[in-house]
Amino acid sequence: MVSDENEKKRILNNIKLELLKMEIAQAQNDQNVESESIEDTAALNISQFSEWEDDAPKPKQSYEQEMDNYLTCFVGKNVDTDILNFWKSQNEKFPLLSQLARQTLCIPASSASSERVFSVSGRIIEERRSRLKGETVDSLVFLHDFFKNIKVLSTSNK
């Protein structure tokens, strides 16, 4: 039970970290766009009263508020079984979380990279070698690729 709680906290912290990264990237993007629009406005000199215009952006929901709102609304409740439709429908209420869900749950455009990894590791992880630790498998895959590259380099130098 304690490990379940620790795992839940770890997952929530990872989600908050990803949301923070997204919020920082968005703020930097907004700042760049805002500085460009200020330069454009100054160059055009649209009106004498432009400095008094209320151009303050709408207050955005911070990632922490969004996460807390999500946790109070949906955790422990049955939601739509189609998780992609759920996040699409909740886009207005939880924009950062739905964007993170889109990035996390998307289908890769190509399976080439995963096929390449699994074909090499498939030859390493056989029934007789099923007791290998993850680090050992990683090392074997690395060494396999390393020696393959050395072989290619040595044949090209001849």
Q: pLDDT tens digit string along 8-59? A: 888 888 888 888 888 888 888 877 766 655 555 555 555 555 555 555 454 5
Q: What is the pTM of this model?
A: 0.46
Which residues are CB-neighbours of 132 under 8 A, at least 6 positions away? 124, 125, 140
Confidence band (pLDDT; 50, 70, 90) for 127? low
Count CB atoms within 10 A of the CB of residue 100: 19
Are the C-beta atoms of residues 96 and 63 closer than 8 Å to each other? yes
C-alpha to C-alpha distance for 25 and 100, rounded to whole angstroms = 13
pLDDT tens digits for 61-96? 688 888 888 888 876 666 657 788 888 888 888 888
Query: Is there a contact between 15 and 100 (Cβ–Cβ < 8 Å)?
Result: yes
Q: How far apart are CA 12 and CA 131, in angstroms?
A: 32
